Structure 1
Amino acid sequence: MTGKDRGFSLGASLALTLASAALWGVAHLATGRQRTGVLLMTFHLVMIAFVVTMATTFKSQLLSLAVQPNWLTALTGGLIGLGLTWSVVIIWSFVLVKPAVTTTASRTLTTVTATLLCALIIAPSAYAARLAYLSRDVVTSLFSATSSTPVIAQDPWNGARRVNVLLIGADSAANRPGVRTDSMTVASVDTATGATTLLGLPRNLEQVRLPTGPPRERFPYGFTGEPPYTPGLLNEVYQYAEDYPEMVPGVRKGQRGPTLLTKTISNVLGIPVHYYAMVDMTGFAQIVDAMGGVKVTIRQPITYGKYNEGLLPAGTRKLSGQEALWYGRSRTHSDDYVRMGRQKCLLNAVAKQADPITVLNSFEKLATATKRAISTDVPQALLPAMIDLAQKVKGTHIRSLSFVPPLISTGDPDWKLIKRKVAGALADRPVSKAATAPAPRDAAPPAPSPEEPISLDTHCG
């Protein structure tokens, strides 16, 4: 029995069509199709309950699924299917409750209403499906489907107490060939608690001992670069490996640099470096622009530009991608160590300000910029575990240990001291903020050590 048979008025037909769009089966019940109406309504309510439960109770599991290509493919297809199914239900409901009146105005109004309802359903479904597709594209572009070590579901860390990831900020310039890794920090994360220590190495470390094999054979007394053209600093190791394939035999172009640099820094710190993630600074500027800028607090004016043609005044302000690039790059009236601090502040600011609304509003631009700016050897299979670990990191204090003067002389580094400081910094297992117990009332506070500047990175500008 249809709307004409029932004699639904124009207003009743519109109301039932709207109600059926909000809750499937209403129009069917109104026209006597009890079984179909109950089935549609039950299915719709179960679907809503499932979505709400997943979004509130299983949020962390959803984040893990969001970095798995197979799930993202299924989600893309599911969202498209949902939009089409919902539209079919709306049209079906509209046909059932069409009013008995046959004036042109009434037909036009009801048809337009049904069409708009379908569009309101299809448009967000199509948008969400596109986001899922773009997410899959980013995951498959950035992260390898294969892994050098098997990832076991029960223990993705293979029994390791800490996972160490080398974070590289790479820079290039028109007046010099190749890439220089001007920012190198190892994030050492406790796999049980998420407690993280950042180990920062300055770009201008000299006489760096390379790993055994061809690199050590060529530079038995430490890396010296290509004198007189280069001074032989740590930030040259990456490009040197790319230029001389025999340094890392059997490794393809584009991976020679990360491979040698990762092994070199592992050797310097005395800890295994499991993975790396490299951000190209020019691409990083595109990420900042895609976000609509990044807000930082500048404590002292910063002169920037090749010929000092620009100035970032002191104060809290939103920087464009180009300004953010110079904020992290400039050494005018400062030094490498001040710049290292600014780069950490900049990365921290971007991470904090990349809220869900900002990401959604600029997702396509961000996805494109991210693929251009970031490279890594973290395998796809490890991403769910990385997401879970990142949630633990949020609840901990992040400490930082930088090997800069006066602790370390960059021209003549004390390699044993570096290893000793690293071992000391990683010996304890700090607990999360929520689990931190107050110290006994009669306990003496620990004495600070001038040689071990471990602290939160809060200085910017």
Structure 2
Amino acid sequence: MAGKRGDLSVGSSLALTLGSAALWGLAHLWVGRRVAGAFLMGTYVILVTAIVVTLLKTRSALLSLAVQPSWLWTFALGALLFAAATVAVIIRSYQLVRPESSTGLTRYFSALAVGLLCAAVIAPMAYAARLAFVSQHVVTSVFAANTAPIPVDPWKGRERLNILLIGADAAPSRPGVRTDSMTVASVDTRTGDTVLFSLPRNLEHVPMPAGPPREHFPYGFGGEPPYTPGLLNEVFQYAEDYPSMVPGVPKGQRGPFLLKRTISDITGLDITNYAMVDMSGFAEIIDAMGGVKLTVKDPIVYGRQNEGLIREGTRKLSGEEALWFGRARTYSDDYVRMGRQKCLMNAVAKQADPVTVLRSFEKLADATMHAVSTDIPQGLLPNLIDLSEKVKQSKIKSFQFVPPLINTADPDYRLIKHKVSAILARPASSPATAGSAKGAHRNPGQEAVTLDVACK
């Protein structure tokens, strides 16, 4: 061993040390420590092979583990242990192959090089552990704690999963939460086929669920006249302000609880969970992504004081610009805005690729914790990840109950429920017969409407 060490130059010893970082045991074998070298090399090969095979073969399973706090802690600990083991191998390898004759500046230079190599190994592993800790914090902060055991197959005997998706506008100048975007995502748990049912924010005389809400509003929701007009987007905040509407439900949960029940009655769907995005927080998410690319069909007035325009054409919008793209109603109406909001959500979903997410992960995580609230339990997340894989491979249809099919001032709620039932009863392979807004004007009584909004 001493002879071989003496034959090595400083450059060769550092090269062997670097090689030992990439393949444990290389330096040990060089100096004749065959048993230790073979053990280290075999261990390293097994670990790396297992990691690569797992990444290639079980991607969906990994995604499921990535939303489970216990597994996130395990991953973080594993990354740190792997880094510590590699650093130990590097240091020991250099000790074995370091030239005995090295002194003075040469020794200090070699030690510095080894230290930098150790830092290069530790940095990515520490960052991976950091991402795991941040992910764990997001999961526990955004998603609800499990209140009951989650079955192994939560979809057994459950044909559809219905989740209420809410876009909320809670500007400082207007206290309270207005749910200006309300969409029910109805997912076939077997195939992943999904239908999005959107309800206008300005539906009037909304029938209320049985119990205190219906007793207080027997002829439909009336709001607080003369201060509010009594629209669907007021139900959420009304429940928060008047606890007697939903006795026994804690503050912060009253709004979504009543809104879920109300929209369940309107659509005839059993809505089990909700997910709400605050629009201002949504702008932070887009900024964290580095903007979102959209095709703007017509100029859109920008800002509360009409400061400028979002001009037509394909461009990358900042978070604030995207917020106004989805919020503005100047020279348009609620229904055009609903269509733009869907374009915006679709663009964000498509452009939030893994590279973008990883590059801005901590900013996105922070924005998500401020922008998103939901009652989806943490224990259901792995099953939702599996279901989302089916959704990506399936058909997604979108239906909006807007004029002329539905008169928002005097809605036919029985017609809405009938249309929802009829749409879901269609075979998945049958073509959608809903037309564009223009087609709907030609035949207003036939279908729910999909707005014709050009954006990408």
Q: Give 1:106's aligned residue.
A: 106
Partner of 2:126: 126
Q: Distance in 2 between matches of 1:328 and 1:3?
A: 74
Aligned position for 1:381:
379
* Residue pair 1:296, 1:316 contacting (<8 A) in 2 also: yes
Residue aligning to 2:115: 115
What residue is the counterpart of 2:151 in the other structure? Answer: 152
Once residues 381 and 454 of structure 2 are traced to their aligned partners in structure 1, the CA distance between those partners, rounded to angstroms, is 31
Deviation at residue 334 of structure 1 after TM alignment? 0.1
8 Å CA contact retained: 1:172, 1:179: yes
Partner of 2:218: 220
Q: Provide the identity percentage.
A: 60
Find the aligned partners of 1:103 and 1:30 in 2 and give their Cα distance.
23
* Equivalence for 1:442: none
Aligned residue in 1 for 2:388: 390
Shift of 1:351: 1.0
Q: CA RMSD in A?
A: 1.9
Answer whether contact 1:7 1:100 (CA < 8 A) is retained: no
Alignment of 1:286-435 (within 5 A): 286-430=284-428
SS in 1 for 2:177: strand
* 8 Å CA contact 1:3, 1:98 repeated in 2: no
- The answer as to whether partners of 1:190 and 1:429 remain within 8 angstroms in 2 is no
Q: 1:286 to 1:191 in 2, by over 3 A?
A: same
Residue pair 1:341, 1:459 contacting (<8 A) in 2 also: no
Unaligned runs of 5+ in 2: none
Secondary structure at 1:102's aligned position in 2?
coil
Seen in structure 2, the aligned counterparts of structure 1 residues 2 and 157 have a Cα distance that, compared at 3 Å, is: farther
Between stretches 225-234 and 447-456, larger displacement belongs to: 447-456
Question: Could you report, residue by residue, the CA deviation over 1:25-73 in whole angstroms, capped at 9, with x for unpaired residues?
Answer: 0011111111111110011001111111111111110000000000001
| 1:396 CA displacement | 1.6
Partner SS state of residue 176, structure 1: coil
Q: Is the 8 A contact 2:192 2:390 kept in 1?
A: yes
Distance 1:295 1:56 in 2: 31
**1:266 is matched by which residue type in structure 2?**
S
Aligned match of 1:460: 455
Aligned length: 448
Aligned to 1:240: 238
The secondary structure found in structure 2 opposite 1:384 is: helix
SS at match of 1:166: strand
Residues in 2 aligned to 1:429 and 1:2: alpha-carbon distance in whole angstroms: 78
Shift of 1:102: 1.8
Distance in 1 (alpha carbons) for counterparts of 2:68 and 2:29: 41
Q: What does residue 46 of structure 2 align with?
A: 46
2: distance between equivalents of 1:379 and 1:396?
Answer: 25
Provide TM-score, normalisation by structure 1.
0.93
Decide whether the 8 Å contact of 2:5 with 2:97 is kept in 1.
no
Offset, 1:158: 4.0
Please report how far the alpha carbon of residue 87 of structure 1 lies from its aligned counterpart in structure 2 after TM superposition.
Answer: 0.5
Pair 1:211 & 2:209 matched: yes
Aligned to 2:455, the other structure's residue is in SS state coil
Cα distance, 1:460 vs. partner?
3.0
Deviation of 1:144 after TM superposition, in Å, equals 1.5
- The secondary structure found in structure 1 opposite 2:175 is strand
Question: Once the 2 structures are TM-superposed, how far is the Cα of residue 281 of structure 1 from its aligned partner?
Answer: 0.4
Q: Distance in 2 between matches of 1:254 and 1:322?
A: 27
2:296–2:311 Cα contact (<8 Å) kept: yes
Q: Tell me, yes or no, if the aligned pair for 1:400 and 1:453 is still in contact at 8 Å.
A: no
Distance 1:224 1:231 in 2: 7
Judged with a 3 Å threshold, the aligned counterparts in structure 2 of structure 1 residues 176 and 454 are, in CA distance, closer, same or farther, namely closer
The offset of 1:176, in angstroms, is 2.5
The amino acid that maps onto 2:257 is: T
Compared CA separation, residues 266 and 119, structure 1 to 2 (3 A):
same
Tell me which residue corresponds to 1:69: 69
Give how far 1:104 is off: 2.4
Letter matched to residue 79 of structure 2: L
> 1:172 offset after TM fit, Å?
1.9
Structure 2 Cα separation of the partners of residues 114 and 416 of structure 1: 74
Q: 1:274 aligns with which of 268, 272, 275?
A: 272
Secondary structure of the residue aligned to 1:100 is coil
Corresponding residue number in structure 1 for 2:170? 172
Contact 1:86/1:121, CA 8 A, preserved across alignment: yes
Relative to structure 1, is the Cα distance of residues 459 and 165 closer, same or farther in structure 2, using a 3 angstrom cutoff? farther
Whole-angstrom CA distance in 2 between matches of 1:150 and 1:70: 16
Whether the 8 Å CA contact 1:269–1:422 is kept in 2: the answer is: yes
Looking at structure 2, the residues matched to 339 and 30 of structure 1 have their Cα atoms a distance apart, in angstroms, of 70
Question: How far did residue 173 of structure 1 move?
Answer: 2.7
Does the Cα contact within 8 Å between 2:191 and 2:390 map onto a contact in 1? Answer: yes
Amino acid at match of 1:262: K
CA contact (8 A) 1:208 1:223 kept: yes
Partner of 1:136: 136
SS in 1 for 2:402: coil
Q: Retained in 1: the 8 A contact 2:273–2:374? A: yes
Structure 1 gaps, min length 5: 440-444
SS at 2:176's partner residue? strand
With over 3 angstroms needed to count, the CA separation of the structure-2 counterparts of 1:321 and 1:279, relative to structure 1, is: same
1:304–1:332 Cα contact (<8 Å) kept: no
Moved more, 451-460 or 63-72: 451-460
CA distance in 1, matches of 2:117, 2:316: 40
Q: Which moved more, 1:167-176 or 1:216-225?
A: 167-176
**1:346 & 1:297 partners in 2: Cα distance?**
10
**4+ residue runs over 6 A deviation:** 445-449
Deviation at 1:113, TM superposition (A): 2.1
SS of 1:274's partner is strand
**Which letter maps to 1:452?**
E
Q: Distance in 1 between matches of 2:451 and 2:307?
A: 33
CA 1:100/1:399 → structure 2, altered by over 3 Å: closer, same or farther? same
User: Does the aligned pair in 2 maintain the 1:187–1:196 contact within 8 Å?
Assistant: yes
Structure 1 window deviating more from structure 2 (388-397 vs 265-274): it is 388-397
In 1, the alpha carbon distance for the partners of 2:425 and 2:380 equals: 25
Tell me how far 1:107 sits from its aligned partner.
Answer: 1.3
Q: Could you tell me the TM-score, scaled by structure 2's length?
A: 0.94
SS of 1:220 mapped into structure 2: coil
* Matched letter for residue 151 of structure 1: I
Alpha-carbon shift at residue 430 of structure 1 (Å): 1.8
State the partner residue of 1:252.
250
Work out whether residues 328 and 337 of structure 2, in 8 Å CA contact, stay in contact via their aligned partners in 1. Answer: yes
Which amino acid in the other structure matches residue 296 of structure 1?
L
SS of corresponding position for 1:159? coil
Query: Which residue is equivalent to 1:182?
Result: 180
Check the 8 A contact 1:170/1:278 in 2, yes or no: yes
